[in-house]
Structure 1
Amino acid sequence: MDRNLQQVNTILNLAKLTELDIKAESHVLEFIPQILDSKKVKLLEVNKETLEYLNSGECLFIKGTEDSHVVICSNSSTFELKEAETSNSLLLMPPLNHGKLIEETESRALRKQEVLGVYHTYYEMRHTKPKLQSLRNALAKYPYKGQDSEISEDIVGLSFTELKDITQASEEEIINRLQEMQATKVRGKWRLLDVGFLFGWVSYLDSILREKQLSLQEVTPCNVKDWMGLYDINDVTEKCISLFMEEDDDNLRWKSAAVSQLFALYLLPELRAFDSKDFFTAWQQSMPVGVTANEEHLNGVALVDYDSTPSLVKYLPEFELPEEINERLDILFRNRTKWTLQSITPYVQPLTDNNLNVAALLTKYARSSTINGVKYYSSKYIT
């Protein structure tokens, strides 16, 4: 039934309030007959920055599969989507006149306000680390092994739109990851550069430098592009330069860690484990001139097991490990019972976010101990 001012004043008295305690305009809530189904229309709580982002005309994108948690993405960030409950009823209504929007008049007035929906749950957005492993897994189905291996004339690979659809991450995060990855566009489609191809590319350039009796520091990017033009297309050459070289005053030098890891990835997969003495010999002998193999370069790619006889180098690349922290640590601690912070960081760093860095994640999910002044991390569940 319709409310009148007398009824409103009665309610004010019950609440121990007077007309002087409220604005001149009072809202009377009216529930519409066909109220919205809360299962079909959901409420989402957003912070000020996200609200401004939406008001500017931008969109949020919900991404998820049957096997993964749902995330929601802006153009630059990824958020975990969590359902929250509230003991109070949340009412969905058109905008209300409140505060300064209500005119200061002496006469009292009632305004009807329709209630479109009643909710006891809503969704929260929590900033989270993007799920980027699916990006590599998808591209791995289309390895690029060089133009001589492209038998079919069909264009294979994935478009950027397809990558966005299958990756639980924002557009900006996907672009940044593609720049870091051993991936590039070939004939307009994204492909993952094969490890064997990359090894051959670096080795071929090294053979040219040896033949010309030059170090990489003595040549420019233009020199490299000219020499490698016969080896493969320019886009691939530019990607290889960015992956394995640093530019300094138009001259180049090898990124030792990146080259060392590439050569380790090339040498190890067939056997999965390698006698450490034989491995370090073969590893160093295969390196380009000017690159020195360092055991620290294996971090995130392989580990050295000094407890076995003989000691072994084991293939353990970070990109093959699960993205769930407990599952990843379980595999790591089964391969090595104690890890230093330096050696475990490449395996844990990809799982960190703005709230938890590597040390904080390990404090939460692992056990620490100090031996001879060195801090180690081990499984929480091993006594």
Structure 2
Amino acid sequence: MHAQIWGFSNCYWELRRQRPRLKKLKKLLMENPYDGPAVGSYAGGGAGTEGFWRILDFDYEMKLLGHVTQLVDSESWSFSRVPLSACLEELGSFEPKAMIEHCLNCYGRRYSIEDGQVMHALDEDKVCRATAQLLLQNAVKFNLSEFQEVWQQSVPEGMSARLDQLRGLALLDRSTKPETISLLREEDLPEDTLERFNSLFSLREKWMQDDIEPYIQDLCGEKQTTGALLTKHARSSVQSGFKGVMT
């Protein structure tokens, strides 16, 4: 018995890894963000989000973080040793315990010590970055030096606010007098590569390479560099000794 050959093909399909596209999912979740339990409906029990995927309202998320950092300060805990059980016990009467734990997981690293007690080490960069977003979200532009002063005063005592913490979150303009800073979140830009570049160059005709890289890093494919991406979609230039790009 012989197998019958029906034809030949000189092409094939290849499976390639791609970055996940999550903006549609986030857009759906943002239609009904979770901003805390309804007034009068919470008495220290479980969160009303059980069984559902919800995204936290940013202001509510910062409220939770404020509770945690204030407790750390009042108890004189180290930022690197924040006990989960004590946080839940102290703050559980104000907010759902699941939300307190979620906040600690988002802004800290979870680990266990010798006796099995669960601890969290708060991440200075994440806390400072979120605080900066809270300050910037209601202003079109901020005087850079004034912003840095207010920002440092707003972060928990003992943490240091640095501009490198704001990559992909805020845009500095050093060409103006005074220098300014404004909110520009990478996650708010288009997912499509060409649309992303069009959006960025509609904001600025010319970009310094260090400024644009945080906004295109996620577009890079496997083994692709931001330099290769810029070579394909922009032209290189040198301004005052610094490497820049333009359309």
What is the TM-score of this pair, normalised by structure 2? 0.80
- Higher-Rg member (1/2): 1
Cα contact 1:260–1:297 (8 A) shared by 2: yes
Equivalent residue in structure 2 for 1:140, among 30, 44, 55: 30
Aligned to 2:44: none
Cα contact 2:209–2:245 (8 A) shared by 1: no
Question: SS of the counterpart of 2:120?
Answer: strand
Question: SS of the counterpart of 2:145?
Answer: helix
The count of corresponding residues between Structure 1 and Structure 2 is: 236
- In the TM superposition, 1:242-321 aligns within 5 A as 242-247=105-110, 250=113, 251-321=119-189
Matched residues in 2 for 1:204 and 1:295: separation? 25
Matched residues in 1 for 2:72 and 2:120: separation? 12
Instruction: Compare the two structures and name the one with the higher strand fraction.
Output: 1
Equivalent residue in structure 1 for 2:225, among 357, 361, 364: 357
2:245 counterpart letter in structure 1? S
Equivalent residue in structure 2 for 1:197, among 60, 63, 81: 60
Matched residues in 2 for 1:359 and 1:219: separation? 41
Matched residues in 2 for 1:133 and 1:144: separation? 18
Q: Deviations along 1:212-270, whole A, 9 cap, x unmatched? A: 33333343222222223123223222221111112466443321221122112211122
Aligned to 2:87: 224
Task: Call closer, same or farther: CA 1:131–1:247 in 2, change over 3 Å.
Answer: closer
Q: Which runs of 5+ in 1 are unaligned?
A: 1-24, 28-95, 97-112, 152-183
Matched residues in 1 for 2:14 and 2:39: separation? 49
2:245 pairs with 1:378: yes
- In the TM superposition, 1:3-22 aligns within 5 A as none
Aligned to 1:340: 209
Matched residues in 1 for 2:81 and 2:122: separation? 12
Cα contact 1:195–1:262 (8 A) shared by 2: no
Give the drift of 1:137.
Answer: 1.4
Q: After alignment, is 316-325 or 326-335 more displaced?
A: 326-335
- In the TM superposition, 1:148-187 aligns within 5 A as 148=38, 186-187=49-50
Give the drift of 1:197.
Answer: 0.9
If asked which structure has higher relative contact order (CA below 8 Å, sep 6+), I would say 2
Q: After alignment, is 331-340 or 289-298 more displaced?
A: 331-340
Equivalent residue in structure 2 for 1:127, among 17, 26, 37: 17
What percentage of residue pairs aligned between the two structures are identical? 28
Cα contact 2:33–2:56 (8 A) shared by 1: yes
Matched residues in 1 for 2:40 and 2:13: separation? 48
Cα contact 1:144–1:191 (8 A) shared by 2: yes
Aligned to 1:156: none
What is the TM-score of this pair, normalised by structure 1? 0.54
Give the drift of 1:121.
Answer: 9.2
Give the drift of 1:296.
Answer: 0.8
Task: Call closer, same or farther: CA 1:254–1:290 in 2, change over 3 Å.
Answer: farther
Cα contact 1:185–1:235 (8 A) shared by 2: no
